[in-house]
Amino acid sequence: MPRKPPTSGRSRTPDRRDERARDERPGGSARKPGAKPGAKPGARSGAKPGAKPGAKPGAKPGAAPVTKPVAKTAALFDVEVACLPGLVEVLQAEVRARLGEGGALDAAPPQRRGPVGREDALALRVTEHGRAALHELRTAVAVERVRRFAVPRPKALLGDAVLRDLLGEIQAVVAAAAAARAPFTALRLEAAGRESPVMRRLAAALAAGVGLPEDPEDGDLRVRVRPDDGGWAVLVRTTRRPLSARGWRVCDRPGGLNASLAAAVPWLARPARGVQALNAFAGSGTLAIELALADPGARVDGVDLDADAVACAERNASAAGVEGRVRFAVGDATSLGAADGSVRLLLADPPWGDAVGAHADNRELYPAFLAEAARVVAPGGRLALVTHEVALVHELLEGSAGAAWRTVHERRVWHGGHHPLLLVVERLPASGGEGRRRSGGGREPRSGRVLT
């Protein structure tokens, strides 16, 4: 009997670990349980000889493997878009119009933030493309990126991992502003108790982390910290100035209108595209310019009694690039010079009686203006009025002046310490000398609905 060759060690039966080791080595040849002897690695049981690995049973030799397409989902980012209290519904309509198509906006409806009736922001989830498009909103005051942290106290924001995450968010905002050639110059932290030791340490750490000095009063990189559902949220404004601080405003006048409020007027008045409008009490031109920017086909003639205001409005129109479609002249709002029934849209921001004008004078000015407006606005045309003389306007429209008008929309807005009325009325056809009064007064029930 032949002798067995000597062994150098104790023999053992190969186990599954050996098979796995061979599989993991290049050229490993362990076969899967149930595979036929001689089958190629990765071949399915029942596949034809020569079929590519991964091919379905019965597929022709050489056929490409069938794979299901993988749907790509764009990353979503939390943002808040601020507006003047009272305009959140208008802002929501503009967001839907600008971001609703193309998947830039999450399907979940935006959430309103702020006290009921005075909501001043929308919480959204948007793609990177949508986040950039938010800067084009005309009725927004500011856009902020939001990061939420499930930590019990603000002190935890100084923890190593959380601070790195937070700095990464802020550094992304700083880099985007630098790329847009609008770099930030200093950081400002806003929070309840911002003078506390914890908040002072946090402000210093954030400023150092992004390489900017800290300026508690005038820093243009605004970072806000607030409680949020048991944790803390940090909001970073994405622009040096509020969006409502328009670049075209190179000249200002006392009592100037906030541009985001002026931009809401076309959304509420709903003029036809390419409208030819008239702007009484034009001031620095805010209403006229915002209408022209909202509608590239619109043309506006503005009048104001003050020659200095007219010169100021002309400078702003030139800076906005609309000087060819917006003209200003010295003129009286109570004697507009337009033909009867020739105006489809009349814009007006008459004196509010504080920074400009006096309340006693307005009791004569407002009735005279409403009478002139009724003369020049065509039946079906509209008057859009922004004023803080709320009681006076309601009194006039409840009286004889209301016979000429139907209220389309009215709302109150919080604006620089004031609570003005934004009113849109439609000219009724004249009947029997001057409009037919409806029972119960000249105005229909007030509405806060945005027409879209």
What DSSP line would sit under 198-227, residue for residue? Answer: HHHHHHHHHHHHHT--B-TTT-SEEEEEEE
Select the more confidently predicted residue: 355 or 254.
Answer: 254
Check whether 73 has a pLDDT greater than 70: no
C-alpha distances (whole Å) from 188 to each of 241, 314, 373 are: 13, 35, 47
d(CA 108, CA 122): 12
Within 10 angstroms of residue 114's Cβ, the number of other Cβ atoms is: 14
d(CA 190, CA 186): 13
Token digits for 195? 């003078």
> Using an 8 Å Cβ cutoff, are 106 and 125 in contact?
yes
**pLDDT band (50, 70, 90) for residue 2:** very low
143 Cβ contact list (under 8 Å, min separation 6): 79, 80, 81, 82, 131, 134, 135, 137, 237, 238, 239, 243
Residue pair 346/375 in contact (Cβ under 8 Å)? The answer is: no
Residue position matching structure tokens 């919080």: 414
Integer-rounded Cα Rg, in Å, for the chain is 34
What is the DSSP pairing of strand 377-387 with strand 343-348?
A: parallel
pLDDT tens across 15-52, in order? 444 444 434 333 444 444 444 445 444 444 444 445 44
Give the pLDDT of residue 13.
43
The rounded distance, in Å, linking the Cα atoms of 434 and 429 is 8
384 forms beta bridges with 347, 424
Q: What is the pTM of this model?
A: 0.78
**Structure-model confidence comparison of residues 48 and 242, the more confident one:** 242
Q: Where are the domains of the chain?
A: 77-237, 259-427
pLDDT of 86: 95
Whether pLDDT at 413 is above 80: yes
Q: Give the Cα separation of 313 and 302 in Å (integer).
A: 9
Q: Are 250 and 312 in contact (CB under 8 A)?
A: no
CA 294 to CA 275: how far, in whole Å? Answer: 11
| Rounded CA separation 307/299 (Å) | 21
pLDDT of residue 339: 97
For 107-138, what is each residue's pLDDT tens digit? 777 888 888 778 899 999 998 888 888 999 99
**Segment (H or E) for 163:** helix 160-179
If you average pLDDT over residues 341-361, what whole number do you get?
91
Length of the chain: 452
pLDDT at residue 405 is higher than 80 = yes
* Predicted confidence band of residue 102 (pLDDT cuts 50, 70, 90): low
Q: Which fold has domain 259-427?
A: Rossmann fold (3.40.50)
Tell me the CATH number for domain 77-237.
Answer: 3.30.2130.30
Distance of CA 215 to the CA centre of its chain: 27
pLDDT tens, 152-179? 999 999 999 999 999 999 999 999 999 9
pLDDT higher than threshold 80 for residue 64: no
pLDDT for res 198: 97
Q: How confident is the model at residue 5 (pLDDT cuts 50, 70, 90)?
A: very low
For residue 433, pLDDT beyond 90 = no
Q: What is the bridge-based pairing of β-strands 121-126 and 421-427?
A: unpaired
Looking at residue 15, what is its pLDDT? Answer: 45
Proportion of the chain above pLDDT 70, given as a percent:
78
- How do strand 421-427 and strand 377-387 relate by DSSP bridges? antiparallel
**Eight-class DSSP state of 394:** H
**Could you tell me how many helices (H) and strands (E) the chain has, helices first?**
10, 14
The larger pLDDT score, comparing residue 128 to residue 87, is at: 87
Lowest mean pLDDT among 44-58, 194-208, 210-224, 379-393: 44-58
- Tens-digit pLDDT profile for residues 255-313: 889 999 999 999 999 999 999 999 999 999 999 999 999 999 999 999 999 999 999 99
- DSSP letter assigned to residue 433: T
The lowest-confidence range among 36-50, 345-359, 366-380 is 36-50
Three-class HEC string of 60-115:
CCCCCCCCCCCCCCCCCEEEEEECCCCCHHHHHHHHHHHHCCCCCECCCCCEEECC
Instruction: Indicate whether 206 pLDDT > 80.
Output: yes
Given pLDDT bands bounded at 50, 70 and 90, which one contains residue 72? low
